[in-house]
Amino acid sequence: MNLPDTCRAPQPAIDLTSWLEHLAKLEKQPADYRQLLQELKALTYDGFDQGLYIDDLIKDTSLAMDALLTHSWNQFGFGDHPDDIALAAVGGYGRQELHPSSDIDILILLRRADDAAIREQVSIYITFLWDTGLDIGQSVRTIEQCYEEGKNDVTVATNLFESRLITGSTDLYQQMQAVLVEPDFWPSTDFFTEKVAELKARHHRFADSSYRLEPNLKENPGGLRDLHTLAWITKRHFGVNTLRELIGHEFINQDEYNTLCGARDFLWMVRFGLHRISGRKDDRVLLDLQKPLSRLLGYDNENEIRAVEEMMQHYYRAVTNIARISEMLLQHFEEEILLSRAPAVIFPINERFQLRNGYLEVTRDKVFIDYPPALLEIFLLLQRHKEARGIRAATIRLIRNSVKLIDEEFRNDPRCHELFLELLRRPRGIYHDFRRMNAYGILEAYIPAFKQIVGRMQFDMFHIYTVDEHTLMVLRYVRRLSDTKRANEAPEATELFSKLRNPKLLYLAALFHDLG
C-alpha cells in the first residue's frame, strides 16, 4: 500500500536490467547475495545523487527486493508446493517504502499448521536470508492463526491489512485477505478508536524536548507514522489502497493531498539521507548528523549553520502540515462517518456560527466569503464560549481554504483590527487560540512577517522550540502575569503587570519580538 501514492505519473527511477540479469544467475550462496545487495544499495545511492524522484526510488528498491526474495524462494523449492504456501510483504516493505537500511518484514502463509516438512524448510530459508545480511522480520502463520492473532492484537491486524503478495499461492493469500473483511474482524469504529489511542500515546511519548532538537522522522508528531495511521484507518473503512483514492470519496481534497505528498516526499528524502550517512537504520535527526545531511540534500550555503537551519525549517514545516491535515481528517472521519447518525445538539450563537455537539461550526459554507472578518471572529467566539470543545473539522477545512481572503484590504479593515485586539484583551484562551490561528494559517496571513519564523529552528542545544512556538510560549507566559492565582510564580512581574494601563501593548510586543 502506497501512502499516499505519487502526485504525478510514476517513472522508473533506477535501471535494474543488469542487476536482475546478475540475480538470475545467482547460486544459493549467502555471500553472493550479500554482494548483490551491496550492488543494489550502490544503484540507489547513484539514483539519489542524480536527483531521481524519492518515491520512485524506494518503490523500485522494493520491487528489486521482491525479485531477490522470489529467486531465493524458488531456489529453496517452495515452488514445488504451489497451493500450500505464500510469501507476502508487510510493514514498510508491504507499502513499498524500502530505504537503504530498512527492515524486510515478511509473512509466510501456510495452508496447514502441521506440515512439518514445509516448516523445517521455512526455518532453513529464514536462516539463509539472515545470512545474506538482510534484517528480516518474519511471521509464519496459517489463515486461522492470522485471523485469531489479528483479532487479539491490533498491530498484527494492521500488518495484515497492508500486506502484499510477493510469490506463492495467490489463492491462499486471497483466502487470508477474505477473512480480514469479516464483520467481527476489527470493525471500522473499533479500529479507529484503537489506532487513534496509539497515535495520542505516541505523540505524548515523543513530545519530550529532546525530540524537538533531534526529531524522530517516524514517531514524532507529524511524522511518517501519522500518515500511516491515516492510511490504515481509511483503508479499513473504505477499502482503498492509496490516499489518492480518497479524493473520489470526497474525504480529502486535491490541495490537501498534494500538501501531504510534498511533506511525505521530503521526510522520505531525509530518511534516505540518514540511512546513507549513518550506514544503518536511523530515523532520528541527531545534531551531529544535521550538517552532513544538509550537504547531502543540497542545501548550498556558505554559512553551514544557516544551511542546517534552512533544512530543519523545511522539516518542521513538513511535519506541521502532516500533523494539521491528518488531525483534521481524523476528526472529520469521526464526525462525518462514525458519528454521522448520532443525534445532533445544536446551540445557535449568531447568524454565522453555532455549536454542534459542543463544537463550533459555520451555519453555511459561504460565511467567510460573505463576511471575511469572521475568520478572526471564530477564535473570539471560542474564547467567549467556555463550553466550546473546539472547531468542527469541516469548518477547519473552510478556514484553511479561506486564508486567501486575508489581503491588504482585510488587514486594513477596522473590524479586523478590533477583533484582533479583542482577542488580546480576553481574560482566557489567548495562547490556545493563537496556536490555532497559527495552525490554520491565519496568523501568518494576517501578519505576513510571521511566516518567516514558522518552523524556524536555531542550530544549538539551547533553543528547543521553533521561533513561532517560542513566540507563542512568550505570549502564554505574559498572559499568566494577569492571573493573580499564579502570582507566586513571578510576584514582581505580576505586580508590574497589574500596573499597566494598556496590557495589550505587552501582548503585541510578545507577538512581534522576534519578527525582526
Per-residue pLDDT of the chain (516 residues; tens, 9 = 90+): 333 344 444 455 689 999 999 999 999 999 999 999 999 999 999 999 998 999 999 999 999 999 999 999 999 999 888 899 999 999 999 999 999 999 999 999 999 998 899 999 999 999 999 999 999 999 999 999 999 999 999 999 999 999 999 999 999 999 999 999 998 999 999 999 999 999 999 999 987 655 678 899 999 999 999 999 999 999 999 999 898 999 999 999 999 999 999 999 999 999 999 999 998 888 999 999 999 999 999 998 778 889 999 999 999 999 999 999 999 999 999 998 888 888 889 999 999 999 999 999 999 999 999 999 999 999 999 999 989 999 999 999 999 999 999 999 999 999 999 999 999 888 777 888 999 999 999 999 999 999 999 988 877 666 778 889 889 989 888 888 887 777 788 888 888 888 888 888 898 999 998 886
User: What's the fold here for domain 16-185?
Assistant: Beta Polymerase; domain 2 (3.30.460)
CA distances from residue 21 to 40, 305, 462, 480 in whole angstroms, order as listed: 13, 45, 53, 69
Q: Going by C-beta distance under 8 Å and a sequence separation of 6 or more, which residues neighbour residue 490?
A: 480, 481
Angle at 242 between CA 240 and CA 243, to 5 degrees: 100
> How far is Cα 439 from Cα 222, in angstroms, rounded to an integer?
12
Instruction: Take residue 161 and report the three cell numbers written for it.
Output: 491489512
> How far is Cα 255 from Cα 257, in angstroms, rounded to an integer?
5
> Furthest-apart CA pair in the chain: how many Å?
87
The H-or-E segment that residue 201 falls in is: helix 188-205
Helix (H, G, I), strand (E, B) or coil at 187: coil
User: Residue 339 phi/psi, 5° resolution?
Assistant: -110, 20
Instruction: Take residue 179 and report the three cell numbers written for it.
Output: 477473512
Q: Going by C-beta distance under 8 Å and a sequence separation of 6 or more, which residues neighbour residue 367?
A: 352, 353, 374, 398
- CATH architecture of residue range(s) 189-340: Up-down Bundle (1.20)
DSSP string, 302-345: SSHHHHHHHHHHHHHHHHHHHHHHHHHHHHHHIIIIITTTSPP-
Instruction: Take residue 284 and report the three cell numbers written for it.
Output: 532520528
Instruction: Take residue 99 and report the three cell numbers written for it.
Output: 530505504
504: amino acid identity, one letter: K
> How far is Cα 513 from Cα 210, in angstroms, rounded to an integer?
25
> How far is Cα 195 from Cα 507, in angstroms, rounded to an integer?
39
Helix axes 374-384, 393-402, angle to 10 degrees: 140
Closest listed residue to residue 141, CA positions, set 106, 165, 174:
106
345: amino acid identity, one letter: V
Q: Where are the domains of the chain?
A: 16-185, 189-340, 343-446, 455-515
Helix (H, G, I), strand (E, B) or coil at 88: strand
> How far is Cα 214 from Cα 67, in angstroms, rounded to an integer?
36
For position 494, what pLDDT does the model report? 83
Q: Where are the strands (E) in 374-422, listed by range?
A: 390-391
Pairs from 88-91 (Cβ < 8 Å, separation ≥ 24): 88/163, 88/164, 88/165, 88/166, 88/173, 89/62, 89/163, 89/164, 89/166, 90/139, 90/159, 90/160, 90/162, 90/163, 90/164, 91/137, 91/159, 91/162
For position 516, what pLDDT does the model report? 65
CATH of domain 343-446: 1.10.110.30
CB 442 within 8 A of CB 406: yes
CB 109 within 8 A of CB 192: no
Cα 185 to chain centroid, rounded: 26
16-185 and 189-340: identical CATH topology: no
For position 5, what pLDDT does the model report? 42
Closest listed residue to residue 433, CA positions, set 507, 381, 362:
381
For position 4, what pLDDT does the model report? 38
